[in-house]
Amino acid sequence: MRYHCFKKKLGLTIARQLLEINAIKLQPHAPFTWASGWKSPIYCDNRLSLSFPEVRNNIKLAFCDLVKEHYPTAEAIAGVATAGIPQGALLADELELPFIYVRSSSKSHGRTNQIEGAFSEGQKVVVLEDLISSGGSSLAAVDALRGQNIEVLGMTAIFNYGFPIAQQNFIDKSVELVYLSEYSLLIDLALARGFIDASDAATLQSWRASPETWGK
């Protein structure tokens, strides 16, 4: 089962661009607080890439190459709400494939859909997410698709924090994940480019080893 960065050189380029547009911020001495309550020395908001045409286009074309190489039989792209929707729509448009998206839960009104768009049983889809932390919400989207007898070929993402629990969660659900860039590449690049020093790099590495207890 695939669970890896697509191409290292590309991953470094994506990481550099995300740093340069401040989509990724590294603050080991002034950590952020995630919605989960975890303290974190990094904040990643890949939605900012949409405001920068060159970065947006590079991400779109990287996803195109990834899907063509690993999932050539894909019949549709499924974005995970909310951040996976615009990236997924851009990809589907470039590949000339149908696009659907998956809500975190069913609507409480109207048709009460959780999956929006036209789809059919047995359709082969690639799921697109912007960011992987624990993988819980991303895999919930896979459950929703599989609940409608849609065949999930695999998942793609812009960035993966690389938590061991995420990999185990994907294994448990038998879902492949191929992503464009990852935390370890980011830290190496940030150190080499002078965004952080060696002490900061050690702090950032210690956070990924135990994010739930770091800073407490």
Residue 201 sits in a domain of what CATH number? 3.40.50.2020
Residue 20, both tokens: 């340069």
CA–CA dist 51, 42 (Å, integer): 21
**Residue 124 pLDDT:** 98
Q: What does the pLDDT read at residue 185?
A: 96
Asked, for residue 126, whether it belongs to a domain, the answer is yes
> What span, in angstroms and rounded, lies between the C-alpha atoms of 44 and 211?
15
216 within domain boundaries? no
Domain that holds residue 82: 3-209
pLDDT mean for each 10 residues of the chain (216 residues): 96 97 95 90 96 98 98 98 97 98 81 90 98 95 97 98 94 98 96 94 91 84
Query: CA 215 to CA 184: how far, in whole Å?
Result: 20
pLDDT of residue 108: 59
Within a domain: 44: yes
Structural domain includes residue 214: no
Q: Which residues contact 55 (CB under 8 A, 6 or more apart)?
A: 17, 18, 21, 23, 49
State the total domains in the chain.
1
Judge whether 93 lies within some domain: yes
Q: What is the DSSP string of 160-186?
A: E---HHHHHHHHHHT--EEEEEEHHHH
